Each structure stands twice: as structure tokens, then as C-alpha cells.
Amino acid sequence: MAKQYATRTIRNYMQDMRFLFSHYYDLLPCSISQQDIINYISFIIKEHGVGREKCHQVAQSCSFYYKHVYPSAFIVPSAFYPRKTHKLPQVFSVAQIQQLLAVISNQKHLMVVSLFYGSGVRMNELRKIKLTDIDSESYQLKVVAGKGGKDRFTILPKDLLEPLRTYFKSYRPKTYLFEGQRAGAPMHERSIQHFLQLYITKIGLGGKDYSAHTLRHSFATHLLDAGTDIHTIKELLGHSNLDTTMIYLHLQQSKRSAIVSPFDRVMQHKI
């Protein structure tokens, strides 16, 4: 592709448009209006319970199609985007992270979960980590072609280096750090999601919106609690905009726990 869209993005765009056209099976693509698209997004919210992220993806797919594939002067992309909500993401507490790691007996699974939390990488970034991306001398992990096609460095936990070496000796991956059943191919996303949910359920948090991405949120929030500045966290996470990183200020525990309520101050000085 001339614009160098990721394979996953192309696949998602094609799938979203197929679903849209199937929904309006009695209409030609050129006859689907802006209001039809808005109605479709409302439909998948109501009938399938999809979240804002999925709605945004569908809106982007429609926007791309009616801008580049079948240009339409009547389609205004911004009208497709659902109103932004301000729901804060779930975050594991430090104690919950300890519980989670304690229930994982599978060596490979333990390394996957540990690296998610220890480095703050995204799902697709973790899957694509190659052996050559690990800098054991500087304790850095190179993320190649992360979101937006950008390279960056993040933390390689010092206490994880030896366990990773032990894991390597046991599994002998060829190219990627975490490979699936086929040598030289990265572990499948569904496989990771499946075993992670089993462990999350094991510690009593199943069905509560905890996922692999929660480990990334926890990484950022716990760094902030430990005094790491927000700009450094932004770079480690690979965010393009600082506003995206600022959400972790709302999740920060250390400053809130140090705040004394005015009610408590009054009671302390009660005669």
C-alpha cells in the first residue's frame, strides 16, 4: 500500500465494510448515506454491545472507503465518531500483580505476563518482539514498528533477565521471543488472551474488564506512583500525544492517598 497501512489495519477496514454492506444488503455502496452509517454504528452498539474503540474503528473504515475508494462529497467523517466517554481503565494493584504472577505455573505464560507488566508494551508489540530486540547490557527492549509504525525503546526489567534466559534454554525460540506452535512464527493473540483470562479468573477478577492491556495501564500507573515523570512514561508507552498519557494522572494512587480531607482536619482540631 502506498500509505503503508499495517496488514491488520487493512484487514479490519475490509471486514468492517463487508459487515456494513451486509447490513444494508438491499442498497448499493454508493446509495449508503452518512445517516445510514450513523444508524449502523448505533445498531452495533445496541445489539452487539460494542465499545467506543470498536465504533471508532468502524467510523475510520467508513471514512477511508468514502474518501479514497468511493469518494463522496456528502460523507463527513467526523459525524461518525461516537461521543467520547471518560471511563477510566481498570488497573491492577501491586498486590493483585503479585497474586497474578503467583498463580502462573507455566514458564512461557509467566514470561509473557511479566514482560507485559514489566515493559508496558501493547499486545501486537509483545508478539513481534524478536530475540535481536533484547538489549541485555542496557536493560532495554526495542519495540520495532509499534503503533503508527514508530520504533522506540522501553524498559527490560533487570529481575526478568535471568528468568528469560532460563525460558530461552527451555523453549529455544528461533526468531520471535514468544513463538506459537509453528517455529519462527509469533504466538497468536487469541492464545495469549485465552490463558491470561484463565489466570485473571483464578485470582477472582474474571469478567471485570481486566485484560492484557490492563497490564500496560498498570505499568504506567505504578511508574507514576513511584515518581516517574509523565513525559518519560509517554515515551515508554509510545504515545504520540501527551493527552493520552495524562489519563494515568487520574489513576495515580500515591498523591490521592496523601491528601487529607478537610473533614478530617476539622475533626483533628475539634475541641
Is it the case that residue 162 has pLDDT exceeding 50?
yes
Q: Give me the mean pLDDT over the 32-45 stretch.
A: 88
Residue 213 appears among annotated catalytic residues: yes
Examine the pLDDT at 81 and tell me if it is beyond 60: yes
**Looking at residues 107-114, what average pLDDT do you find?**
97
Note whether 24 and 36 are within 8 A (CB).
Answer: yes
Q: Which residues contact residue 139 at a Cβ distance below 8 angstroms, ignoring those fewer than 6 apart?
A: 155, 156, 157, 158, 161
DSSP letter for each residue of 155-206: E--HHHHHHHHHHHHHH--SSBSSB-SSTTSBPPHHHHHHHHHHHHHHTT-T
pLDDT band per the 50, 70, 90 thresholds, residue 189: very high
CATH homologous superfamily of 7-80: Tyrosine recombinase, N-terminal domain (1.10.150.130)
Q: Which residue in 109, 122, 130, 202 is the catalytic one?
A: 122
248 is catalytic: yes
Question: Which has more confidence, 88 or 62?
Answer: 62
- Using pLDDT thresholds of 50, 70 and 90, give the confidence band for residue 2: very low
Tell me which of 127, 216, 222, 234 is the catalytic residue: 216
pLDDT on residue 106: 96
Q: Is 83 a catalytic residue?
A: no
Lowest mean pLDDT of 86-100, 104-118, 194-208, name the range: 86-100
What would the pLDDT profile of 213-234 be if each residue is shown by its tens digit?
A: 999 999 999 999 888 999 999 9
Phi, then psi, of 141 in degrees rounded to 5: -125, 125
Q: What would you report as the CA-atom Rg of the chain, rounded to the nearest whole angstrom?
A: 22
The reported pLDDT for the residue numbered 1 is 44
Confidence of residue 88 (pLDDT cuts 50, 70, 90): confident
- For the cut 90, the answer to whether the pLDDT of residue 192 exceeds it is yes
Domain boundaries, the chain: 7-80, 94-255
Of the residues 128, 222, 234, 239, only one is catalytic, namely 239
Neighbours of 152 (CB within 10 A): 17
Catalytic residue among 54, 108, 147, 202: 147
Please provide the CATH number assigned to the domain covering 94-255: 1.10.443.10
The H-assigned helical ranges of 3-152 are 7-23, 34-48, 52-64, 94-102, 107-119, 123-127
Q: What three-state secondary structure class fits 134?
A: strand
CB atoms closer than 10 angstroms to residue 96:
17
Confidence of residue 67 (pLDDT cuts 50, 70, 90): confident
Confidence of residue 4 (pLDDT cuts 50, 70, 90): low
> Among residues 54, 142, 152, 213, which one is catalytic?
213
